[in-house]
Amino acid sequence: MNIKLTKVIFYGSILLAGIFAPILFPAYTFQLALLWMMILFALTWDILGGQMGYNSLGNILFFGAGMYICTVVQIGMYYDVAEYTAHFGAVKVDFTSYQYFTGIATGLVVAAIACVIIAVIFGWIVFGLRGPYFAIGTLGVAIAAGELVGAWDYVGGGGGISLPNYPGGPADREMFFYNLCFISAVCTFVFLKWLYSTRFKLALNAIRDDEEKAEAMGIHTNRYKTIAWSFSAFFLGISGGIFGNMTGFIEPLEVAFPTVTFGIFMVLMVLLGGKGTLWGPVIGAVIFHLIKELTWTYLLGWQWVALGALIIINVVYFQQGIMGWAQEKWPELFGITLDETNSGTEEKILS
């Protein structure tokens, strides 16, 4: 009962913090929204990287795909896309607020579904690859996607698209997107918390521990791998759609398919927090976001060097992450106990 109450207080306070943080610190609303997005990135990466042992460097593919699909749907519902993008966003069309919100809602739904379809298609290509081949293959797919979108004039090519204006004041706009980010991150967390309590997680862990044996035990590994990837794709697609609208301008290389920024951040956040745990990615994302903002503010010019050094130190010296370290230090908190009854009886028999 007591434990249940602590849990309620714990989750409740996080939710309250999420709701009231932008009201208390209105200057940091964008940063806070980004923080929720980072948590979503880390959580979705961990489905494959942590639970299933498939280290993807190309999950950012779904982020960018979701962003572009959402944008095209949003514009395409009320306007001709080719004509809109041909002006590189110089001619802005005013959307009524009804058009704007229905556009975003439909766009996000379509983006999520389309990303699942993309995940299934690419799953066929990349899931035969193992270990480092998988990492490099997914990286290649993500970079190639960015280059291809950059060459596609229908969606604005390398010049990008600027998104429809938000019908309302700048403060309302920030709160709207903050809430979208917040809700999508919380939904992801709740979904994964449920998912990790089912047999599905056990199947993923079996694939991570030994894929051949898992196959021999009758687990349809390819099916599980594809479904797990679709879950990541679903949430990443939504987050991409939100992020595109939040920044107001999308472009293939830096915003939509940033393989070396967001793409590598999500891996790093999970490694920092601890792979294969539910809370590890969340903690890692919060700490990483803090470090990143501090270095970007105080070490400007050297921030990337600091980031590279952080990757090396993290990977080489601290690979188990914060949660892994905590589990080693206080195993009893995580329900890992030595079975002392057995060892005790053995001693009794001997004595």
Partner 1 sequence: MLDNLSLLGMVPSLNLQLLLDGLLIGSVFALAAYGLALVWGVMNIKNLAQGDFVIMGGYIAYTLSEPPINLHPIISIPIIFVVMFVFGWGVYHTIIKRVIERDLFTSLLATFGLAIVIQQLLNIAYGPDVQTAEAGMEIREFFGGDITIADTKLVSFLLALVVGLLISMFMKKSRMGRAIRATSQNARAARIMGVDTNKVYAFTFSLNAAICGVAGVLISIIWVIQPFFGITHSIRSFVIVTSAGFGNLIGVILSALGLGTVEQFSGFVFGAEFQQATVVGLLVGVLIIRQIMQSRQRQVVK
Binding site for partner 1 (CB under 8 A): 55, 125-126, 128-129, 131-133, 135-137, 140-141, 143-144, 147-148, 151, 215, 218-222, 260, 264, 267, 271, 301-302, 304-305, 307-312, 315-317, 319
- What is the distance between the alpha carbons of residues 283 and 261, in angstroms, rounded to a whole number? 19
Q: What DSSP designation does 204 have? A: H
Which residue type sits at 204? L
* Range list of H helices, 77-96: 81-86
- What is the distance between the alpha carbons of residues 161 and 85, in angstroms, rounded to a whole number? 6
Output the smallest distance, CB 232 to partner 1, in A.
Answer: 17
CA nearest to 63, candidates 235, 288, 227, 260? 235
Measured over all CA atoms, what is the biggest interatomic distance in the chain, rounded to whole angstroms?
89
Output the smallest distance, CB 168 to partner 1, in A.
Answer: 39
Q: Which is nearer to partner 1, 23 or 309 (CB)?
A: 309
Task: Transcribe 263-318 into DSSP letters.
Answer: HHHHHHHHHHH-TT-SHHHHHHHHHHHHHHHHHHHHSTTTHHHHHHHHHHHHHHH-
Output the smallest distance, CB 123 to partner 1, in A.
Answer: 12
Output the smallest distance, CB 216 to partner 1, in A.
Answer: 8
Output the smallest distance, CB 273 to partner 1, in A.
Answer: 15
Q: Which is nearer to partner 1, 159 or 167 (CB)?
A: 159
Task: Compute CA distances 133 → 126, 140, 224, 311, whole Å.
Answer: 9, 10, 19, 20
Q: Which is nearer to partner 1, 15 or 125 (CB)?
A: 125
Output the smallest distance, CB 318 to partner 1, in A.
Answer: 11
Q: Which is nearer to partner 1, 185 or 269 (CB)?
A: 269
Output the smallest distance, CB 315 to partner 1, in A.
Answer: 5
How many alpha carbons lie under 13 Å from residue 254 in its C-beta half-sphere?
A: 8
Q: Which is nearer to partner 1, 92 or 223 (CB)?
A: 223
Q: Which is nearer to partner 1, 105 or 125 (CB)?
A: 125
Q: What DSSP designation does 157 have? A: G
- What is the distance between the alpha carbons of residues 11 and 186, in angstroms, rounded to a whole number? 11
Q: Which is nearer to partner 1, 170 or 218 (CB)?
A: 218
Residue 168 near residue 97, CB atoms below 8 Å: yes
Instruction: Spell out where 255-300 has E strands.
Output: none
- What is the distance between the alpha carbons of residues 103 and 84, in angstroms, rounded to a whole number? 15
